[in-house]
Amino acid sequence: MTKVGGSIVAYTDRKWESGVLLGTGDVSIHFRLIHYDTLSMLRNSLLWASTNPFLAERLPRARFVRRATKRFMPGEEFRDVIKEAERLRAQGIASTTTLLGENNNSLKEADAVLGHYLTDLRLIDELGLDMEVSVKPTQLGLDFGIKEARSRLLELAEATESIVWLDMEASEYVDRTIDIFLSVKEQRSNVGLCVQSYLKRTPDDVARIASCDCSIRIVKGAYNEPESVAFSNKKDVDRAFEDLTATLLRGRAQGGVGRVVLGTHDPSMIGAAKHIASDLGLTEDQYEFAMLFGIKRREQLRLASDGHKVRVLISYGSAWFPWYMRRLAERPANLWFVAKQLLP
């Protein structure tokens, strides 16, 4: 149990409990217990909302919701991304961009997404920005077949020398995403894959793809997954993140050329990565940190000024509702920020 200012926070295996210290001595300590299960329910409700078509249709029209999203995305247009990327570049921070949206309804939509990214890549090149793109497999047509998504990913990779990152979506897509990634990798080396530490299968997946000396971004994972496939306990997710970090950094220390990107805002994960890297004799430029736009800005700057490679993922587009709900679920305290937008 740890004491933090006037409150007490206790971590147990199953519960997260917090209480307010009202006096001194054991008898006057009153606890207001917030069970891990309550936070977990809130998180699950937000993740449920992220897949609800009724809410997706109505909530984005509310002005207070639109105002609140500004914190996580500069705007709906790619020109909004460029403005922020240039500002970050001046601070020594590179960027990645993603067009929001998932699960297209038709291949025509997948073609429109492809067209968007091809235009973005041309503009990035013209402006000489250090910006990469990160794409969701279902945006490229994965729901219509592996071949459909594969051909569009290949077209994107052929249009640039930079890495084209493949996001990892819900667990049902993992096998197909890895298949597409490995298949395109045989033709173009400039593709990278995101893996999620909350999935119990990920260490086996990483072992399977390790032989291709791939560029990999490790994240904790943002979807609502059943306990049969994913760890539900933060401690387990964090431990898995550190283990994956150690595995991939070891590969780097043994001469691997694939990039190792740690997509996290968690100070413990960042600290652990630095520690592991230094034990392995890796220098700051042999691994990277990636964070989301608007989150832990000070930490982004601090890492960059300490000589670390930092990349910020800037999202844009009109289909932001499910993505935004996942950001709220990551930190339910963000709901206060949304509520504040209701004030005049």
Contact footprint for ligand FAD (CB under 6 A):
167-168, 194, 196, 219-223, 263-266, 269, 290-292, 295-296, 313, 327, 330-331, 334
Q: Supply the minimum distance, in Å, between the C-beta of residue 207 and ligand FAD.
A: 20
Min dist CB 134 to ligand FAD, Å, is 7
Q: State the DSSP string of 23-71.
A: SSSGGG-B-----HHHHHHHHHHHHHHTT-HHHHHHGGGSHHHHHHHTT
Helices (H), 194-288: 202-209, 234-253, 267-279
Q: Which residues of 80-116 are buried (b: 16+ CB within 10 A; e: fewer)?
A: ebbebbeebbeeebbbbbbbbbbbbeeeeebeebbeb
Dihedral sign for Cα 238, 42, 224, 150, please: negative
- Extract the tokens encoding 275: 């520690």
Closest-CA residue to 171 (of 215, 128, 221): 221
Judged by CB, which is closer to ligand FAD: 37, or 57?
Answer: 37
Please state at what angle helix 267-279 crosses helix 297-305, rounded to 10 degrees. Answer: 20
Shortest approach of ligand FAD to residue 239 CB, angstroms?
A: 12
Least distance to ligand FAD, CB of residue 157, Å: 17
Q: Closest separation between CB of residue 132 and ligand FAD, Å?
A: 10
Coil, strand or helix at 200: coil
**Closest CB to ligand FAD among residues 236, 330:** 330
Closer residue to ligand FAD (CB): 137 or 251: 137
64/106 with CB nearer ligand FAD = 64
Angle between helices 107-127 and 146-158 (to 10 degrees): 20
Residue type, 180: I
Q: How far is CA 125 from the centre of its chain?
A: 24
C-beta closer to ligand FAD: residue 160 or 197: 197
Kindly state the smallest distance separating residue 77's Cβ from ligand FAD, in Å: 21
Q: How far is the CB of 294 from ligand FAD (least distance, A)?
A: 8
Place of tokens 């600290």: 271
The distance of closest approach from Cβ of residue 196 to ligand FAD in the complex, given in angstroms and rounded to an integer, is 5
Query: Which residue, 21 or 338, is less far from ligand FAD as judged by CB?
Result: 338
Toward ligand FAD, which CB reaches closer, 121 or 135? 135
Choice between 189 and 224, CB closer to ligand FAD:
224
Report d(CA 235, CA 91) in Å as an integer: 33
The least CB distance from residue 127 to ligand FAD, in Å, is 21
Contact predicate 117/139, CB 8 Å:
no
Query: Which of 28, 321 has the CB closer to ligand FAD?
Result: 321
What distance in Å separates the CA atoms of residue 166 and residue 263, rounded to the nearest whole number? 13
